Amino acid sequence: MSANHTARGAWTVRLPGRVSFRLRRRGLGYGLASAAAALAIVAVLLLVGAYPIAPPDVADALFYGTGERLAVHFVTQERLPQAVLALLAGAAMGASGAIFQSLARNPLASPEIIGFTSGASTGAILTIAFTGGTALVAPGAITGGLATALAVYLLAYRDGNDAVRLVLVGLGVTAMLGSVNSYLLTRSDLRTAQDAHLWLIGSLNGRGWESVAILGPAAALLLTAACLLGRRLRMLELGDEAAVGLGLRPDRSRLALAVVGVALCGATVAATGPIPFIALVAPQIASRLARIPGTGPGAAALTGAVLLGAAHLVSGRIFPVAVWWSETFPALALAEPDSAAIGVPVGATCSVLGGLYLTVLLVRRWKAR
């Protein structure tokens, strides 16, 4: 392997087998900073909670499996798998959002807006309703996402794909699938409906290593594929004629990228339930901060991991802060002391934060006119 410095703060890295790629200095710095932020969030997640654990006890439980029995349980069986799952799910959704926003050339073309997340949810609910369990949720969610993607593509296709038409069709499909999901819940028995409803909120609370086992292998394979296909994604952003001139087959490349994006979305929904706005926000933040051309799946994945990890941390501190506020200002009490151990589902937190981000973005664009 060799690396040559090129103009504008970039290196050209050459690997054996005539494989080369360009590594930008700012993109590398952003990637290292994002990775460091993700590790810092994991460290904080292991420390804080309803049962606070000191850093030395966390280190003993994490690296040696020794120490107080309760501390070992919380670190290794609850907090660590949830932290790992947050990073994996955030990375998967960030990369998925980058793929579809780039393919559609529209910043609103994220999986939850154009219906793919709702399709994955419908597939998962059908699996839960007909099997009475969650053992086959993963294939059901991925199948539902792929079927919805095909339906949206066929409905939006007319003399080529139009970004606005794709988003509008996706919004309509999302609304219809939301009604289907509600109907399926009303026709299910009480226990199945309750399980499905809790799953639909999108949460990391109560998740363990079994959820990591669902998402981990899929995320490792699909994120690698997304990064390897990132060069094709940048070529497609230049237009079909330019892509063909560079030796690319646009239709095959779009199909491969779309399958990877939908599979990333479906695997995440299967493991955590639908978590909104990460796929919408992560690629845009990565593009602004890293200042990379186009929407890179790698940078978006790192950004999504940091965002979901931070959202999970915030979700776990909402009720403790509300209890502290109530004890400090009794006249403005927000929560009872017994509610300090309650964790807000991260899907609800992402909905609020993502809605605020989208509102600010729309207001800024409106003022810029």
Enter the tokens of residue 53.
Answer: 């654990």
For residue 214, the model assigns a pLDDT of 86
The structure's pTM equals 0.86
Segments making up each domain of the chain, as ranges? 69-273, 306-369
Q: Give tens-digit pLDDT for 283-296.
A: 988 888 877 666 68
Distances (CA, A) of 30 to 11, 16, 286, 306: 15, 26, 9, 12
For residue 159, the model assigns a pLDDT of 60
Enter the tokens of residue 15.
Answer: 């690997």
For residue 4, the model assigns a pLDDT of 54
Distances (CA, A) of 326 to 56, 194, 314, 334, 339: 32, 31, 18, 6, 11
Tell me which residue has tokens 């991925």: 142
For residue 143, the model assigns a pLDDT of 85
Enter the tokens of residue 30.
Answer: 């952003």
For residue 2, the model assigns a pLDDT of 46
Enumerate the β-bridge partners of residue 24: 10
Enter the tokens of residue 241.
Answer: 């004629």
For residue 180, the model assigns a pLDDT of 84
Task: Please identify every stretch of the chain with a pLDDT value under 70, giving residue numbers as ranges.
Answer: 1-24, 132-135, 157-164, 240, 292-295, 332-335, 338-341, 365, 368-369
List the CATH code of the domain at 69-273. 1.10.3470.10
What is the Cα–Cα distance from 365 to 312, expressed in whole angstroms? 29
Tell me which residue has tokens 């609800």: 348
Tell me which residue has tokens 């086992």: 213
